[in-house]
Amino acid sequence: MKTRLILIYIIAFATNIIAQNPIKTEPFEKPINKGKWQIGGEITGSYDESTVYNNNTSNYSIGDDWEFKTLFLEVSPSIGKFISNGLVIGINPSLSYGGSFSKNSGSPSIGIGLGGYTKYYFNNGFLLNALAGIGKYDASFSFYNGFYLGGGVGYAYFLNPHVSLEGIINYSHQRTLMTKQKISQSNTCTFSAGLHFFFGRK
């Protein structure tokens, strides 16, 4: 119930901001100047299907291949400040769900994380993104620690001088400490869609 109320409040807040600042088609100065604050959030997702072909007949019969489906979803609010024109740095906690699944098994994972990000906005709307952070992941009631880093490119469409819609393609590397002797590594390409608000001095 509390989560639902928070979601309703966020939607009402966003609707109020957009209503007070309608979409403008004429040119306006983008809110990417030094001293501005940026708050918002992003939804990140990826989906992949893969097949592992088995040529070893010692444990499996011939043709016993493994088909995997990998899903990843993440929600991350963010807050940052422009330290110079076009350049913003900030923090973004996150909540994620993911895992690899086959017809015989599945390994869902829920994670929480805390990261930092840097974005550079160009005047034409394109942007560069860099991110890094740490996280704790729960897979089958076992808790693991990990870290990630990555970067990407995207585009910000400014509805008005206070609101932007953003799409970013990121490539990231993640390492998770499973045990003292076992480390899991992954390289992932994801797509993020976000809504951001800009406040502060001009």
From first to last of the 202 residues of the chain, give the pLDDT tens digit: 544 454 455 555 555 555 555 555 546 788 999 999 999 999 988 776 655 555 554 444 444 556 667 778 899 999 999 999 999 999 999 998 877 666 666 667 788 899 999 999 999 999 999 999 988 777 655 566 788 899 999 999 999 999 999 999 999 888 877 656 667 777 888 899 999 999 987 6
What's the pLDDT at 190?
Answer: 87
How many angstroms separate the first and last alpha carbons of the chain? Answer: 39
Is 62 in a helix, a strand, or coil?
coil
CB 90 within 8 A of CB 79: yes
The CB-side HSE value for 30 (13 A sphere, CA atoms) comes to 19
- 19: enclosing H helix or E strand: helix 2-20
- 147: enclosing H helix or E strand: strand 142-160
What's the pLDDT at 188?
Answer: 80
What's the pLDDT at 12?
Answer: 57
Residue 199 has φ and ψ, to the nearest 5°, of: -135, 170
What's the pLDDT at 16?
Answer: 58
In the numeric block, which tokens belong to residue 37? 């604050």
What's the pLDDT at 28?
Answer: 76
What's the pLDDT at 180?
Answer: 61
What is the C-alpha to C-alpha distance for residues 142 and 9, in angstroms, rounded to an integer? Answer: 34
Q: What is the DSSP string of 65-121?
A: -EEEEEEEEEEEEEEEEEEETTEEEEEEEEEEEEEEE-SS-EEEEEEEEEEEEEEEE
What's the pLDDT at 163?
Answer: 94
What's the pLDDT at 63?
Answer: 47
The closest alpha carbon to 73, from 93, 40, 100, 46, belongs to: 46
What is the C-alpha to C-alpha distance for residues 129 and 120, in angstroms, rounded to an integer? Answer: 7
Instruction: Give the Cβ contact number of residue 60 at 10 Å.
Output: 12
Cα angle 143, 144, 145 (rounded to 5 degrees) comes to 135
What's the pLDDT at 173?
Answer: 86
What is the C-alpha to C-alpha distance for residues 188 and 94, in angstroms, rounded to an integer? Answer: 17
